[in-house]
Homo-oligomer: A and B are copies of this chain.
Amino acid sequence: MSVLVVGTVAFDAIETPFGKTDKIVGGAATYICLSASFFTKKLNLVSVVGEDFPNEAIQMLKNKSVDTKGLQIKKGEKTFFWSGKYHNDMNTRDTLDTQLNVLENFDPMVPEQFQKSEFLMLGNLMPSVQKKVLDQMKRRPKLVVLDTMNFWMDLFMDDLKEALKEVDVLTINDEEARQLSGEYSLVKAAKIILKMGTKHLIIKKGEHGALLFNHNEVFFAPALPLEEVFDPTGAGDSFAGGFIGYLAKTNDISFENMKRAVINGSAMASFCVEKFGTQRLLEINKDDVDSRINEFVSLAQFDIPLK
């Protein structure tokens, strides 16, 4: 099944306790596409860059079977840039610089050939932009996944809540779940968020794994215990890419299959954090992914039959 991915394609400059990078290619949609490309070859990208964005990076996406027809290249403008520094615990970071550039007036255009994509991944972007993409779809996708962050909750909570009404799966982290719901307990938070319209909620807890909720069930996926987390940038997007990529590949959106998708997403995130930026996602192959999935099976599986 085809996946339409909307999100940023950007430059990042990252500093972690292990080192720092110059401007490197990043952005939510980049990580989502790279990660999803291990599962499906029908990836349609809608995004925007400036004319400073390197052709080789676009070619890199094309090599991963990403259709870049929907990637606007703005003459005379500059690509979105984010710079951040992670603290020693790797769970918190400071934003050092944000230059919106082409994002400031981003008007997403979904090419006609993309408007019937079966799966829609709305990567982290202004909620009204996410909504605009949804509105351009010729038919309701089989599954709509929306990722967002605290920044949009601070500024555009109403827009976000409006968008949530049309979403199948919302992915946020634990702090964002607390902010969105006003509840500290994640179980209570999930109940409140599921009343906002989204049919499923994934709460990403970083090194502590991820929770998948629907109205009746809950599933927990561990994160792989790693010796070092080198750079967390893009981990959440790699998770989302693996999640929707797996669902598109298997064309099954049952809760049981979403559990498997969460494990696949967790596996992709576990690769992402092993090196700076997209480096690790560009090195690995399908065999690496398969053996990582096996590690998750060994890590989490036990044989107690239901009584």
**Interface on A for B, CB 8 Å cutoff?**
88-89, 184-188, 205, 208-209, 211, 217-222, 225-228, 256, 259-260, 262-263, 290-291, 293-294, 296-307
Contact = CB atoms under 8 A, between A and B. Distances in A.
Nearest to A293: B304
Contacts of A293: 304, 307
A185 B307 contact: no
Contacts of A297: 304-306
Given A185-B228, A209-B209, 14 more contacts: A185-B227, A186-B225, A187-B225, A187-B226, A211-B225, A218-B298, A220-B300, A222-B222, A256-B302, A263-B302, A290-B307, A297-B304, A300-B300, A301-B301
A225 B219 contact: no
A245 to B, nearest CB: 15
Nearest to A183: B227
15 contacts: A186-B225, A219-B302, A220-B222, A220-B225, A221-B302, A256-B303, A263-B302, A263-B304, A290-B307, A291-B307, A293-B304, A297-B304, A297-B306, A300-B300, A300-B302
A153 B164 CA distance: 49
Which secondary structure characterizes the binding site on chain A?
Answer: mixed
A228 B191 CA distance: 13
Contact of A260 (B89, B263, B302): B302
A305 B296 CA distance: 11
A227 B302 contact: no
Contacts of A184: 88-89
Contacts of A186: 225
Contacts of A185: 226-228
